Copies of this chain bind each other. A is one copy, B any other.
Amino acid sequence: MKILLVDDETELSDPLSRILLQEGYQVDVANNGAAGMNLALQNQYDLLILDWMLPHHSGIEICRSVRSHFLATPVLFLTAKDTVDDRVDGLDAGADDYLVKPFELRELLARVRALLRRSTLEMPNSDRLKVADLELDPDNQVVYRQGKAIDLSEKEIQLLTYFMEHPERLLTHEEIYRYLWQADEQPSSNVLAALVRLLRRKIEIKHETQLIHTVYGKGYRFGIN
C-alpha cells in the first residue's frame, strides 16, 4: 500500500509519515503543492493525504488534477479549514474523506484503513499481474513469459503494467498518454507507437499468441483473443 502525503508543515508530516511507515505502508512525502502534484501524477498511489493550503498548488488543485487524469486514487483531505462550506468544497472537488486538524491519530488511521480497504476490496489482484503466460513483477521490473525472464525498460514496464491492469479492454491513445506522460499531449509524435513496438518486440515476437491488439483509430487492447 503506497501513500502520498502532501503537507508543508514538517512538524506534522514528519511524525505522521513515520507512524504510517510503522503501520506498514509505503509513504512518499512532498512538502509543497508542485512536488505533490508531480508525484501524484507520476506514481500510482493507493491513497493521497493532502493538506488544503499548500505553496504552489492547493490540495484541491492536486485533487482535481488527479481526477481529471482518470485516476481513481482515494483522496483524504487533512486541513485546518473547518466550515461546512470548506468540507463541501473539498468533497465536491473529488475528495473521498475530510478530516479537520487537529485530529486524533487513531481516527486518521481508521479512516486511512477504511479508504484503503475499499481499494483492496475491489482489486483483489495480487501485486504480481498475470495474463495468459505472462507474469509481471512490477516491484522488480521483470516480466516472465513462459517462465523466462525478460528485462524491460522503465517506460516499457509502465506501459505493460497499464495493459495488464486493464486486460481485455480498449485503452485509448489518450488514456495511455495520460497514464504514461503527465503533461497533456498532442499526437505530435509517435512515441506511443514506437514504445508499443519495443514492447511487442520483447513480449510477443517468437511467442505466437498475440497479446497487444491494435484497435484501428482508437488505441490498443491487451489480452488473449
Contact = CB atoms under 8 A, between A and B. Distances in A.
Given A84-B104, A154-B216, A170-B140, A92 B118 contact: no
A49 to B, nearest CB: 15
Contacts of A139: 169-170
A95 B153 CA distance: 39
Q: Is the interface of A mostly helix, strand, loop or mixed?
A: mixed
A118 B107 CA distance: 21
Given A84-B106, A216-B154, A140 B113 contact: no
Interface stretch (A12-20, A34-42, A217-225): A217-225
Given A114-B91, A114-B95, A140 B121 contact: no
Interface in A120-139: 121-122, 124, 139
Interface stretch (A24-32, A141-149, A176-184, A188-196): A141-149
A94 interface: yes
B141 A170 contact: yes
A218 B113 CA distance: 32
Given A139-B170, A169-B140, A216-B153, A113 B87 contact: no
B91 A113 contact: yes
B94 A117 contact: yes
Interface string A157-189: 000000000001110000000000000000000
Contacts of A91: 107, 110-111, 113-114
Interface in A26-83: 72, 74
Nearest to A112: B91
CB-CB nearest 8 A-B residue pairs: A149-B225, A91-B110, A88-B110, A140-B170, A91-B114, A84-B104, A72-B121, A87-B107
12 contacts: A72-B118, A85-B106, A87-B107, A88-B109, A91-B111, A92-B110, A92-B114, A96-B114, A96-B115, A97-B97, A140-B169, A154-B216
Interface of A: 72, 74, 84-85, 87-88, 91-92, 94-97, 104, 106-107, 109-111, 113-115, 117-118, 121-122, 124, 139-142, 144, 148-149, 151, 153-154, 168-170, 213, 215-218, 221, 225
